């Protein structure tokens, strides 16, 4: 296929405003923006939609303020019902932006009975998928790296995610593939080949810094140890034709008590996005069929 469209998730330029992100991404040659709800100006969603249209960017994978059925280590309510309502409200809020997908997580139920917790997750995500379906939006369920984010999620692999999606049973619910979380799972190439048709049409991309210094220490594509050409080649061969969405966490003391001098969040946002796009394009050009 031709080179996928390139998008930038707003966490990549953490300290910029929504309007600054629109301007930066457009200038850097991106075609889309992954909107984070916390960056939207309060009380002016119509104005935010108008600014998106003026920028020429498309909304890709949007991230709700409450993005999971059970809690994650972000601020938010504890009660699963309240969290489900918050996720559904965020989907309705994002709908006028016409995003490709809205991301969601399971969260972690703590000491709750596993069978009971799974039933709550299935019901909550089914409701969210149904709301998203009313607007023609994918609900992207993201498996998280077990060794790092095991306390965030009940799923860590594509098969685990597919099994949960089958229980949810909504046609617009798919796997939100993030190379950071899946690159070192067993038989990743085979899993993409088997389940490529179940992926939401937007993939989060970055690279794995070696050594990784904490949970928020990602690298730009090509600056780490992930075999991106192999992953991209397998996605291409599996028929993926969606967006590539750059998503970078790079701690500068904002998320933990560690402040890295080389944090990408401390660097010029325009330069970071341009380098991210160049790294993606180089890896895509070098993609290998499985």
pLDDT tens digits, 78-108: 999 999 999 999 999 999 999 999 999 999 9
Looking at the whole model, is its pTM more than 0.85?
Answer: yes
- For residue range 147-168, what is the model confidence (pLDDT) as tens digits? 877 788 999 999 999 999 999 9
* Residues forming beta bridges with residue 59, ordered by sequence position: 33
Average pLDDT of 118-135?
98
pLDDT in tens, 20-61: 999 999 999 999 999 999 999 999 999 999 999 999 999 999
Indicate the average pLDDT of the chain: 96
**Tokens 């890709």 found at:** 60
Assign domain 6-285 to a CATH class: alpha beta
Q: C-alpha angle with apex 136: 51 to 248, nearest 5 degrees?
A: 55
Q: Taking 70 as the threshold, does the pLDDT of residue 224 lie above it?
A: yes
Domain boundaries, the chain: 6-285
Alpha-carbon distance 153 to 203, whole Å? 19
Tell me which DSSP letter residue 95 carries.
G
């Amino acid at each position: 296929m031709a080179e996928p469209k390139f998008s930038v998730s707003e966490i990549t330029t953490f300290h910029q405003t929504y309007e600054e992100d629109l301007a930066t991404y457009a200038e850097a040659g991106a075609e889309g923006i992954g909107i984070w709800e916390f960056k939207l100006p309060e009380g002016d969603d119509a104005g935010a939609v108008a600014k998106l249209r003026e920028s020429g960017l498309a909304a890709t994978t949007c991230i709700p303020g409450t993005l999971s059925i059970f809690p994650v280590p972000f601020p938010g309510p504890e009660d699963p019902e309240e969290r489900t309502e918050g996720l559904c409200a965020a989907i309705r809020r994002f709908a006028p932006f016409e995003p490709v997908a809205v991301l969601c997580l399971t969260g972690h139920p703590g000491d709750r009975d596993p069978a009971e917790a799974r039933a709550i997750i299935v019901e909550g995500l089914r409701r969210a998928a149904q709301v998203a379906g009313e607007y023609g939006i994918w609900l992207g369920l993201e498996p998280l790296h077990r060794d790092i984010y095991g306390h965030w999620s009940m799923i860590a692999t594509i098969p685990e995610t597919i099994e949960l999606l089958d229980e949810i049973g909504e046609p617009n619910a798919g796997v939100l593939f993030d190379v950071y979380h899946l690159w070192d799972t067993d038989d990743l190439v085979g899993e993409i080949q088997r389940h490529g048709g179940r992926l939401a049409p937007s993939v989060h991309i970055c690279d794995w810094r070696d050594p990784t210094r904490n949970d928020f220490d990602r690298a730009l594509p090509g600056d780490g140890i992930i075999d991106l050409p192999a992953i991209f080649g397998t996605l291409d061969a599996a028929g993926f034709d969606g967006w590539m969405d750059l998503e970078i966490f790079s701690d500068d003391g904002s998320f933990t008590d560690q402040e890295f001098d080389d944090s990408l969040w401390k660097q010029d946002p325009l330069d970071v996005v341009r380098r991210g796009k160049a790294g993606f394009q180089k890896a895509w050009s070098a993609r290998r069929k499985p």
